[in-house]
Amino acid sequence: MQGQTLFLGFGSIQQAVTDARLWEPLIRLADYQSTPRTRSESLTFLTHDLQLDTASAEALVLLLESGRFLIPAQSYDPRDRYSRHALFYELSGEDSARVQKRLADSHVLLLGCGGIGNLVATTLATAGVGTLTLVDDDQVELSNLTRQFLFTEADVGQPKCEVLAREVTRRNSHCRVRAFTTAVTDRTDLAALAVSDLLVVSADSPGLTRLVNTHAVASGQEWLNVCYVNDIAVWGPLVIPGVTGCWDCQPLTAHPPHDDPDLAALIKRVNSRYQAPSNGPVNMVASALAALDVLRRLGGFGVPASLNRRVGVWSHELTLDEQPAERDPLCPTCARATPTATDPRATEGAR
């Protein structure tokens, strides 16, 4: 209770009850249901023990049921490693066992095993994603340790994806993790990668996002970009070929002028000398929100925040920025591509 208000639940599903006459019967009903009860038992409790009329009893039970304030008996089992996540899925009204099974059957390919790759891989593996493929051609450097938290000083000089695979496996031995120390620079490299349920790109090579998008749209591969723009944590759009907008549908990034080659060359030369700042907490924000979208998409609970948009959290101002990424029927990349996704989840909540 806060002031003259009783709150049912917490977080975004909480509901304020200001009618003081309902407070005691609601709390008594919640207490009665702290052990498994049928609906009919609850109604009898309200009408018989608390002497409420039938309509009021029905209304109170409905209030608790409709707001997802009640969870099925045995939803929480502390012996189950995923039990606290199960409660989270129930918040979205999804059957947690079904979500967990979908995650266990899922395969995510991570292109980039730096700060974002570290955290996304760990989040997905510990959440129960069944298969991870890690791709990166870099070695661990001392200057990575401010944000690539799965690496230690002893790992400096070792291939990033192999160290990450080792660390992820230590955290969930049920996750099948494969590591490939290889560069991805063209369509041939992309075509050689395994097909996955979702490709997450956190590598920052120039031109890689457009390359991946072209390949993904043509092959029906779902994909998600995650990055930082200096102090802004950025993720999206989650591209579902044939269903959502793709990377090229709307202008998402700046480009040198096409009609002034000299100026374009100058800009390219200046940019080539630029080393982007990277900050641990900004990496963490981008990774966390992107990983949640991956879990939503693969687990089938809630709606990914990055569908048809690219989202940025401004870490200094704490504001949310978004770029629309709706499908353009004239998009040069995806307009003529036909939907190739056969997974029924492809269209769920994607519009």
Distance separating alpha carbons of residues 128 and 80, to the nearest angstrom = 12
Instruction: Count CB-CB contacts under 10 A for residue 308.
Output: 22
Would you give the binding string for Zn ion spanning residues 317-336, x where CB under 5 A is met? --------------x-xx--
Distance separating alpha carbons of residues 351 and 347, to the nearest angstrom = 7
Task: Single out the segment in contact with Zn ion by CB under 5 A; choices: 26-34, 55-63, 245-253, 294-302.
Answer: 245-253
Question: How far apart are CB 330 and Zn ion at their closest, in Å?
Answer: 9
Distance separating alpha carbons of residues 148 and 232, to the nearest angstrom = 18
Interface pick for Zn ion out of 162, 197, 222, 248 (rule CB under 5 A): 248
- Which residues partner with 49 through β-bridges? none
Distance separating alpha carbons of residues 292 and 233, to the nearest angstrom = 14
Interface pick for Zn ion out of 43, 135, 234, 249 (rule CB under 5 A): 249
Question: How far apart are CB 266 and Zn ion at their closest, in Å?
Answer: 30
**Based on CB atoms, which residue is closest to Zn ion, 112 or 241?**
241
Q: Indicate whether 246 belongs to the interface with Zn ion (CB under 5 A).
A: yes
CB 107, CB 197: distance < 8 Å = yes
Question: How far apart are CB 244 and Zn ion at their closest, in Å?
Answer: 9
Q: If we measure between CA atoms, which residue out of 1, 5, 8 comes closest to residue 61?
A: 8
Please, which residues have CB within 8 angstroms of residue 282's CB and are 6 or more apart in sequence? 228, 231, 232, 233, 315
**Based on CB atoms, which residue is closest to Zn ion, 130 or 241?**
241
Exposure on the CB side of residue 219, measured as CA atoms within 13 A: 21
- Which residues partner with 232 through β-bridges? 229, 314
Secondary structure (3-state) at 296 = helix
Task: Single out the segment in contact with Zn ion by CB under 5 A; choices: 46-54, 79-87, 129-137, 239-247.
Answer: 239-247
Q: Indicate whether 121 belongs to the interface with Zn ion (CB under 5 A).
A: no
**Based on CB atoms, which residue is closest to Zn ion, 161 or 246?**
246
Question: How far apart are CB 249 and Zn ion at their closest, in Å?
Answer: 3
Task: Single out the segment in contact with Zn ion by CB under 5 A; choices: 116-124, 240-248, 302-310, 311-319.
Answer: 240-248
Question: How far apart are CB 212 and Zn ion at their closest, in Å?
Answer: 13
Binding residues for Zn ion, rule CB under 5 A, total 6
Task: Single out the segment in contact with Zn ion by CB under 5 A; choices: 146-154, 164-172, 219-227, 249-257.
Answer: 249-257
Question: How far apart are CB 239 and Zn ion at their closest, in Å?
Answer: 8
For residue 318 the two structure tokens come to: 């704490």
Whether omega for the bond prior to residue 324 falls within 30 degrees of 0, making it cis, is no
| Binding-site ranges for Zn ion (CB under 5 A) | 246, 248-249, 331, 333-334
